Every structure is written in structure tokens, then in C-alpha cells.
Homo-oligomer: A and B are copies of this chain.
Amino acid sequence: MAVDHLSTTLSALADPTRRAILARLSTGERTVNQLAEPFKMSLPAVSKHIKVLENAGLIVRGRDAQYRPCRLEAGPMREVSDFVEKYRKFWEESLDRLGEYLHELQRKEKKHGRGK
């Protein structure tokens, strides 16, 4: 079965090194060598991460034959945003419940004279 686009994007983002690469590209184009620099990783390991990001359409490589600089292409993230947005009301409810719970705890603390 062909993997759907959203799954490919989420899977590509599910790695801290790949997210760090995207974060660096958000400040401008970089060559693979430049991207590899801050990571204590071999060039082939970094290249593999870049390939995953490229396959997911999150990175576009330039045409300059020698350097082929990497450029951020955030387009696929929009689908991720649309997806989680459908669940916003649920996580906001969870936060509300947590807030109420903490408030209740504080109230009890004060009642028992352990508050300041």
C-alpha cells in the first residue's frame, strides 16, 4: 500500500535531528556539509536524514551541481497543522481539567494551613 502524504510528513518530522535540520534551514539555505557541521554525525548519516526530508517534500535541493544547497519547503506542514487543529478543542479541555485540578489542590493546601 502506498504511504499517504500526511503519514510520510509526520514520519519525516518524527526525528529530533531532522527537526534540527529544518530549524537551521529556516534561517536560510545550507549545503549538506554546512548542515552536518553542528551534528556529531558522519556525513552519510546526515545525508540519509536529508534524503528522508527531501522525499517528504520538506526540503528542496538546489540545482548548483557542486553544492546543491538545501532549502526549507514548509508546505507539507500545513496538512499536519490542519490535522491537529481538529483536535484543539480536546487538548484545550484537558488543559482546563488540569487547571481546575491544580486550583483545587491549591485550595486544599491553603485550607490545611500549609499555604503561605
- Using CB atoms and an 8 Å cutoff, list the residues of chain A in contact with chain B: 4, 6-8, 10-11, 13-16, 19, 22, 26, 72-75, 77-78, 80-81, 83-88, 90-91, 94-95
Contact = CB atoms under 8 A, between A and B. Distances in A.
Given A74-B87, A75-B94, A94-B73, A7 B15 contact: yes
Given A4-B16, A7-B16, A10-B13, 6 more contacts: A6-B19, A19-B83, A72-B87, A74-B91, A75-B94, A84-B84
B84 A80 contact: yes
- Which of A11, A22, A84, A95 has the largest number of chain B CB atoms within 10 A? A84
Contacts of A10: 10-11, 13-14
Contacts of A15: 7
A62 to B, nearest CB: 16
A72 to B, nearest CB: 6
A22 B13 CA distance: 20
27 contacts: A4-B16, A7-B15, A7-B16, A8-B14, A10-B10, A10-B14, A13-B83, A14-B14, A26-B87, A26-B90, A72-B87, A72-B90, A73-B94, A74-B87, A74-B91, A74-B94, A75-B94, A75-B95, A77-B84, A77-B87, A77-B90, A77-B91, A78-B95, A81-B81, A81-B84, A81-B85, A81-B88
